[in-house]
């Protein structure tokens, strides 16, 4: 809102006797007014700033995700970073036993696709790689079994630079998995909290 006030005051301070300048000022005022209207009417909020999970949910059991891909340990990376995000960003207590949990979070890594995005013209090797990770995630009420949140195809995209050296490939692959898992966990927690 501060930006709109600054914009509005700068528009109003301008004074000109010519008709075209007055038309321009009127146009800018209309545009500023429409911007304010759309921001307010659309219920604008920052992603992850709301929590639409029912109030009776106080504890969550996060099960290790299933891995339906050929990517080694990707389910462990994603689960680990998801737990970290839930601990750092939410009020929920994480428990191991489903019987003591108000909600149970399950997921399956469906796809982990890796493809070259940029090539080195001299060697012909990829210097930048893109990844697409797709998962099926479900948060259920621990007592009733009712689905609180479900997304059968949650998708996260990441792009990272790679060395043209074959020796550095494994190190970079693990670093890419960590970055992908961390970013996906951040987006997942935001999606689950807002049920979007």
Among 49-53, 87-91, 146-150, 191-195, which stretch is predicted with the lowest mean pLDDT?
49-53
Higher pLDDT, 107 or 123: 107
- Identify the CA nearest to 105 among candidates 77, 63, 47: 63
State the residue for tokens 């639409």: 52
pLDDT band with cut points at 50, 70 and 90 for residue 168: low
Mean pLDDT of 98-120: 87
Is 80 exceeded by the pLDDT of residue 79? yes
Q: What is the helix (H) or strand (E) element at residue 192, kind and residue range?
A: helix 169-194
- Cα-to-chain-centroid distance, residue 137: 14
Q: What is the mean pLDDT of the chain?
A: 78
Q: How much is the average pLDDT of 6-28?
A: 55
Backbone phi, psi, residue 69, to 5°: -110, 180
CA 54/CA 68 separation, integer angstroms: 31
Tokens of 78: 């994603």
Read off the pLDDT band of 115 (50, 70, 90): confident
Higher pLDDT, 3 or 90: 90
Report the pLDDT value the prediction gives residue 161, as an integer from 0 to 100: 73
Q: Whose structure tokens read 């927690």?
A: 189
pLDDT of 41 above 60: no
Structure tokens at 152: 């059968």
Asked if the model's pLDDT at residue 17 lies above 50, the reply is: no
């Amino acid at each position: 809102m501060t930006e709109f006030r600054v914009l509005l005051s700068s528009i109003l301070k301008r004074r000109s006797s010519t008709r075209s300048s007055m038309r321009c000022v009127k146009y800018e005022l209309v545009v500023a007014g429409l911007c304010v209207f759309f921001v307010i009417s659309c219920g604008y909020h920052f992603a992850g700033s709301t929590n639409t999970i029912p109030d009776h949910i106080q504890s969550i059991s996060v099960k290790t995700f299933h891995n339906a891909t050929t990517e080694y340990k990707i389910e462990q990376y994603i689960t680990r970073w998801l737990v970290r995000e839930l601990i750092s960003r939410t009020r929920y207590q994480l428990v191991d036993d489903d019987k003591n949990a108000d909600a149970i979070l399950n997921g399956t890594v469906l796809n982990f696709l890796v493809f070259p995005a940029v090539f080195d013209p001299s060697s012909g090797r990829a210097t930048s790689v893109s990844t697409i990770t797709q998962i099926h995630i479900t948060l259920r009420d621990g007592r009733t079994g009712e689905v609180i949140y479900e997304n059968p195809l949650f998708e996260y995209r990441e792009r990272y630079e790679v060395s043209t050296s074959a020796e550095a490939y494994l190190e970079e692959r693990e670093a890419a998995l960590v970055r992908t898992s961390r970013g996906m966990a951040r987006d997942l927690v935001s999606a689950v909290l807002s049920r979007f």
